[in-house]
A and B are shown apart, each in its own frame.
Chain A
Amino acid sequence: MIKQCWFFLVFLILSSPLAHSKEDVLASLKRLPIQEGGRIKPLDTFARESLALIYGKETYEHKPAIEVMMTWALEPQIWETKEFVEIRYNLVKKALHFEETQNYFTLKKILGNDRLSYVLQELQSKRESKAKLDPYFQALQRLEGQMGVFQSIASGDLLHLVPPDKSETSPSAPWWGPSRWTPEQREAFGQVNRSFVKFLLALSPNKNISEDELRQLKENMDKSVTQFSALARANNLEKYPDYSRIDMELTYTEWHPFQKAWILYLCSVLMIICLWIFKWKKFYFLSWLFASAGLVAHLAGFILRIYLTGRPPVSNMYETVIWVSFGAMVFAMAIESIYRWRFILLAGALVSAFCLILSDNAPVILDPTLQPLEAVLNSQFWLTTHVLTITISYAAFFLAFALGDFGLYFYFKGESEQDPKLRAITLSIYRAMQIGVALLAPGIILGGVWADYSWGRFWGWDPKETWALIALLGYVAVLHARMAGLLKGFGLVASAVVTFSLVIMAWYGVNFILGAGLHSYGFGAGGVEYVAGFVGLHLVAVIFIAVLHQSRQKMRKH
């Protein structure tokens, strides 16, 4: 049994979608460097990001992004009639008189809509009034962006594949698109297109291709791409990147370490459940094994991301979610290794897997793309330390929250406060809260030090910092109330769940609900209803179980 698990583990970690030989034909095309969004990236990343922007996913009906992007540049008409543009915000659909049950629309339908120009004009005048854009206008802005990206890829404008020559001295000069290429470069890219079309035709349905044919196609493709990139490189030898970073980025996107991590964490959860059902001690070892393997994948993902962006990953929601889930796992493993109560590891693995799954599936809210950093936040030791410290404290509170949920469940089942399980849960909640407070207080102070160091203002009531302080005060109040004897067993369990709402507000709400202040560079619409639902359901559950618990305690006394 243990042996099988080892095999599974090794297989999982090494597996990647690259294994398909069909896609292998496009490998050289994928690593062609392109300049977009303030940096140089592989063409594959560009294709994935563009597709994700328009369609919300990185593949379209199992077709890889690079294939979609290439066909869409070659034959835009085909894509205009596919239900391809994602619109999720109901008010936008309503404004365009679209069916609200549908989430994807053809570009033709959108462009042909007679209300479109009116709606976009509305957006323009809203922008001109400089008022804050509400979610409706943010969704409209996205639609505008979707149409823009579609058209500029269709016209080839965005294919900045050639570095500017020496005549452009500015270090930030954009790379050149097809309109500025030499005839040779254009011809070479035409050859790339022809190789691609050949590949597509060979792939056409119900046709089996032999290994030989595939090799032939690949050689053809590699040759034309090499030819083109040699011409592009000749334009400016210094600006053309070497391939080490590009290849590393391809590895990162294709290997997808964070996905491996959550699968492994879920395996760990499964093992603990097996432990409870089958009572076989080895399962405990296995759950540790999977959790550790997950943590290794998680860490590897981090290191890759740091290498690719050249900075610690703490600049947007996506990156903090990844970091918090990492912290939750580390803390859970630390507390678990002391007390060996099993459910701490379970809570950690659940929290971590939950965060990572969320970050994999909400690209609009949690943007996974690698972004250059805003000027104010650039290269700052204090910034990094303070954000890392504050967010890692959220991990401890998240763990306390999950443990609180377990506790609520047992109270719901009618266990008493003296039950050893509940005493253990209460103590671990207390521990997690202490870790959190011991990290959050210094984290906030480091934020003050950073602000003082950067612009001479120790505390400026910035909403993000202020809400971190509110969360800190909230937990400090809980710890003081516990000392005063106001919160005992059930009280502490309930407050672990309730107080976490403050963390959610500080972590998510400030950007997405308040949407004001210096820290909101990652401002965007979406998900508010789900998060509010999540918080609301928990609060209702706490109240319900509190009433239940109270009445049961009265019964016991009688």
Chain B
Amino acid sequence: MQKKIIKFLASLKLSVIIIILLCILIAIGTIIESQYNATVATKLVYRSWWMFATMLALVISLTSVMVDRWPWKSRHAPFVLAHIGIIILLFGALLTMKFGLDGSLRVPMNESSRSVVVNNTEFSVYASVEGKDYTKVFQQEVDFYLASPEKNPLRVSTEAGVLQVERYLPYALPERKIRPATDASPAIRFQIANDRANFTEWMVATPTRTKIEKNLGPAKVTFLTTEEIPSKPTGANEIFLQAKPGQVKLNYAIFYQDQKRKTLRGQIEEGGKVATGWVGLELRLLRYFPSAEEVYEFKPEERPTELNTEAIEVSLNGKKQWLSLDDVVHFYTPKVTYAVFYGHQKIELAFDVHLKKFEIGRHLGTMRAMSYQSLVNVAGDPSGDHLIAMNEPMKYQGLTFYQASFQEDPATGNPVASVFSVNADPGRWFKYFGSFLIVVGTILIFYNKRKAARAQAPASGTN
């Protein structure tokens, strides 16, 4: 009976089925990745239970076939090596998955950082009595993608009531909405256009932000809610718009760089337009709210893009608020203020990494990066500065720091931060050793077969 089971598990037919199954599974994974992204593919396929089941079946099949061929002879060496190699490699991968660290560390220019962001997400709640000194009252690792809060409600009971995660959107597009409100500041939406160019902008003032400036290429636009428009030209092409409380119309002024041109002044109402006198550009006032507020709403989308993000809706005593990934929202109750966080978990290193210098080499005459490197200093490390470049990682206290990418100021193109991938891999040497055995085994199989097969080849010149 035992023999029969081994024979079945060791059968080549079974192995072919398992290999084909594995092919199909990971092919589905790549398709999901192309349609969504790597995270979704990992969650749905690469780390799903069927993947583990197939891998387990593979390992059992690989083991049984070796048991079945026992005692091994020298001609078995190649296949035994390759099979043991695969098992060791998979074991290494398991170790990496269970005990490895794979995160990223962002260090701004001339600053220090020690928080390594990892892939796992958490939901946490902080409470404060007087608006400061927040203390953590709840923390839990969550995966809303696989276990949605609609089906597995997440509730946190607080002194002020039950805090609940109501909804989860995997791809939510944040949308800025400006709507009339009471006791708020003015907002305008204007357009500057001719038949070739078109700029449309919202400008929303707040009680603390009463002067809003925007540089639009041909001219600078300034929206004022408390200050007065300057009485003299500023020596540049500029448009000023001023809102006055209780007034339906805005005051405007158009200044010209050319000092000889006369400043245009007047009033404009919602829907009105003024010719600016620059290459046929017209200024239109599309909307004017004397009192408005700015809110973000999240629109569900089908697929991930660079603009959308994960978002959850949280409620406390019926008041609902949206919260996007790696962001915080506050709930104000008469006694306590709650800060709710949803985002990636962070692991604090035992030391600070300081970014001293960051250099980019670019391809001739372009902004395309050719290479980049960071000069860092680890606090408390006596050996001095380290240079981290592509393919030249820094090894420190069992961790390896790789130069992963960088962030640049979109306006100037200057780098503002360097991003490292931080890594600890206990399975590394198993993977390398397993790989080595696989390669040796594969080449030996080929070598052995060649000798055997040459004898049975048909004569040359057969055609």
Contact = CB atoms under 8 A, between A and B. Distances in A.
Given A35-B365, A174-B366, A424 B428 contact: no
Interface string B420-450: 0101010010011001001100110110011
A442 B428 CA distance: 17
Contacts of B34: 463, 513-517
Contact of A463 (B33, B366, B370): B33
Nearest to A445: B435
B16 A481 contact: yes
Contacts of A255: none
Contacts of A93: none
B348 to A, nearest CB: 19
A252 interface: no
Given A421-B463, A461-B29, A434 B446 contact: yes
B29 A174 contact: no
A470 interface: yes
B364 A39 contact: yes
B370 A477 contact: no
A480 B16 contact: yes
A102 to B, nearest CB: 28
Interface in B347-364: 361-364
Nearest to A475: B19
B12 A483 contact: yes
Interface stretch (B68-76, B313-321, B328-336, B452-460): B452-460
Interface residues of A, number: 77
A82 interface: no
A342 B463 contact: yes
Given A160-B365, A172-B364, A454-B402, A480 B19 contact: yes
Nearest to B368: A38
A456 B102 contact: yes
A467 interface: yes
A316 B442 CA distance: 28
Given A375-B369, A474-B23, A455 B42 contact: no
Contacts of B23: 470, 473-474, 477, 502
Contacts of B368: 38, 372, 374-375
B102 A457 contact: yes
Contact of B366 (A38, A442, A457, A461): A38
A455 B404 contact: yes
B365 A36 contact: yes
B375 interface: no
B295 interface: no
A480 B17 CA distance: 10
Nearest to B367: A172
A461 B361 contact: no
B462 A421 contact: yes
Nearest to A487: B16
B30 A456 contact: no
Contacts of B112: none
Given A175-B365, A427-B458, A461 B46 contact: yes
Contacts of B445: 434, 438
Nearest to A171: B361
Contacts of B366: 37-38, 172, 174
**Which 10 A-B residue pairings sit nearest by Cβ, starting from the closest?**
A174-B365, A38-B363, A484-B12, A456-B423, A130-B306, A340-B460, A514-B34, A172-B362, A516-B34, A477-B19
Interface of A: 35-40, 129-132, 160, 171-175, 276, 339-343, 372-376, 378-380, 420-421, 423-424, 427, 430-431, 434-435, 437-438, 441-442, 445, 448-449, 452-461, 463, 466-467, 469-470, 473-474, 476-477, 480-481, 483-484, 486, 502, 510, 513-517
21 contacts: A39-B364, A40-B364, A172-B364, A172-B366, A339-B460, A340-B460, A375-B370, A421-B462, A424-B458, A427-B458, A434-B449, A434-B450, A449-B432, A455-B402, A457-B423, A461-B29, A467-B27, A470-B26, A470-B27, A473-B19, A514-B31
